[in-house]
Copies of this chain bind each other. A is one copy, B any other.
Amino acid sequence: MRQETIENYLKTIYNLSSDNSALVGNKALADKLKLKPATVTEGLRKLHDLKYVVYEKSYGSRLTALGARLALNIVRRHRIWETYLVRELGFGWDEVHEIAEELEHVKNDKLTNKLASILGNPVYDPHGDPIPDEKGKMQKSNFIKLSEARTKLNYKIMGVTDHSSTFLKYLEKHQLTIGTHLKLKTIEAFDHSIVLQYNKKELTISVKAAELVIVEEV
């Protein structure tokens, strides 16, 4: 199997199984990888033979310790490059994901570590995702989705779970960027839209959007 193929599978399994030990289904994996389920079935059989995943036929797959190590490496490179592109090369947070998808496959530890070191070994990337260190360890947090937040409480935006340019531009337009403090004023009983108060203004956002914003109570 091509190294890049392996890396894309493992990274995606990792991303889809945030509580890492849960099984990831083939359909979800196929969608993220933009492949057909039949293709993914084949791929997983090979990754199983390579001992990167344990594959429970018809139920899904999870990373082995070996697979998780590789996955965390890719995730580290991806997030460090995104941070470097934003902080050192002047890209917007909405532009970097696609470029990082390519740069993440360049394997050179000296390079990755040099970039990290220039950045002061950052712990979060521009989307609020934690950056694993060289050993794969990273910040663990008790952040929640904005869609699960409660009225009257105060929150701070810590990240996003959709890296698409359209979504990030939408957030930026409304000044909903990482670090923004906001208060959850009310939740519409009708459709669960959320009314936010921040920066001396009010904004209503859909559940759909709120599910993609990560916050912390403050």
Contacts and interface: CB of A to CB of B under 8 A. Distances in A.
Interface string A119-161: 0000000000000000000000000000000000000000000
Contacts of A114: 89-90
Contacts of A89: 111, 114-115, 118
A88 to B, nearest CB: 9
Contact of A102 (B91, B95, B106): B106
Interface string A86-122: 0001110001000100110110101100110010000
Contacts of A105: 102
Count of this chain's copies in the oligomeric assembly: 2
A84 to B, nearest CB: 10
Interface string A166-188: 00000000000000000000000
A111 B90 contact: no
16 contacts: A85-B111, A89-B111, A89-B114, A89-B115, A89-B118, A90-B114, A91-B110, A91-B111, A95-B110, A99-B106, A99-B108, A99-B111, A102-B105, A102-B106, A103-B103, A103-B106
Q: Which 8 pairs across A and B sit closest by C-beta, in order of nearness? A: A102-B106, A89-B114, A99-B108, A103-B106, A99-B111, A90-B114, A99-B106, A89-B111
